[in-house]
């Protein structure tokens, strides 16, 4: 005997379906921070395997540099995503309008509001990934240039700290600029 409050398997109420569709499992901050940490950890592998810096002996320096770098990358991701979101939204509006018009579930009165809401959601999601891709590409390219030219003659830990923090700071600085239309 089932209670009327339990849903049978596979059948959800309209509100439950909307909640599942609109459920956002990660906030932008946690999304960016996780990518920032992963990106900031890669130079540790480079310095451990190529420059033969011991991880255990330098763990404190690695941790401090990684956390600061991840924080700067987090800010750079957010800046870049914010800059490209409006451009992506404008490009996706026609496709979203066509999709919602053909769907038939949207009233003609509410079509403009639904298009604006849906295109904003699509643009936000795409802007996150574009921001992460752009910043990571810029970070790794700049890191390779800085570590092989600017800090090449520095000793191991100074080379690591200077190249990673310098690269993160440069990438953050580049992300704060205003985009050209």
10: left (phi over 0), alpha (psi -120 to 50) or beta: left
Mean pLDDT of 84-90: 84
List C-alpha distances in Å: 32 to 26, 66, 130, 140.
Answer: 10, 14, 12, 16
Q: How far apart are CA 94 and CA 102, in angstroms?
A: 12
Q: How far apart are CA 159 and CA 51, in angstroms?
A: 10
How large a percentage of the chain has pLDDT more than 70? 79
Q: Name the token pair of 69.
A: 């770098």
Instruction: Identify the weakest region by mean pLDDT among 31-35, 152-156, 171-175.
Output: 31-35
Mean pLDDT of 76-94: 85
- Within 13 A of 6's CA, how many CA atoms are on the CB side? 5
Hey, how many other C-beta atoms are within 10 angstroms of the C-beta on 147?
A: 23
Name the average pLDDT for the chain: 82
Dihedral angle, C-alpha 159, 164, 166, 167, nearest 10 °: 130
Q: How far apart are CA 82 and CA 86, in angstroms?
A: 8
Q: How far apart are CA 72 and CA 108, in angstroms?
A: 45
pLDDT digit string, tens, across residues 128-145: 999 999 999 999 999 999
**Whether the predicted pLDDT of 178 surpasses 60:** yes
pLDDT at 15: 66
Q: How far apart are CA 161 and CA 66, in angstroms?
A: 9
pLDDT digit string, tens, across residues 6-57: 444 456 666 656 655 555 545 677 788 888 899 999 999 999 998 889 999 9
Q: How far apart are CA 170 and CA 104, in angstroms?
A: 49
Q: Please tell me which residue, 69 or 25, carries the higher pLDDT value.
A: 69
Q: Name the token pair of 52.
A: 């033969």
CB 174 within 8 A of CB 138: yes
How large a percentage of the chain has pLDDT more than 90? 44
Q: pTM here?
A: 0.75
**Whether the predicted pLDDT of 4 surpasses 50:** no
Mean pLDDT of 138-156: 93
């Amino acid at each position: 005997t089932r209670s009327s409050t339990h849903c049978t398997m596979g059948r959800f109420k309209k509100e439950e379906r909307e909640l599942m569709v609109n459920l956002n499992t990660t906030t932008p901050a946690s999304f960016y921070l996780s990518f920032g940490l992963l990106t900031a950890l890669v130079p540790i592998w480079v310095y451990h395997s190529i420059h033969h810096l011991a991880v255990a002996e330098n763990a404190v320096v690695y941790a401090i540099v990684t956390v600061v770098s991840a924080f700067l990358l987090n800010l750079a991701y957010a800046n870049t995503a914010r800059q490209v979101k409006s451009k992506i939204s404008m490009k996706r509006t026609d496709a979203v309008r066509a999709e919602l018009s053909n769907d038939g579930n949207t009233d003609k009165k509410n079509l403009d509001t639904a298009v604006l809401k849906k295109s904003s959601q699509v643009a936000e999601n795409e802007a996150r990934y574009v921001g992460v891709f752009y910043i990571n590409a810029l970070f790794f390219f700049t890191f390779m240039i800085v570590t092989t030219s600017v800090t090449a003659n520095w000793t191991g830990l100074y080379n690591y700290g200077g190249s990673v923090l310098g690269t993160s700071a440069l990438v953050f600085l580049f992300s704060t600029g205003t985009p050209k239309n």
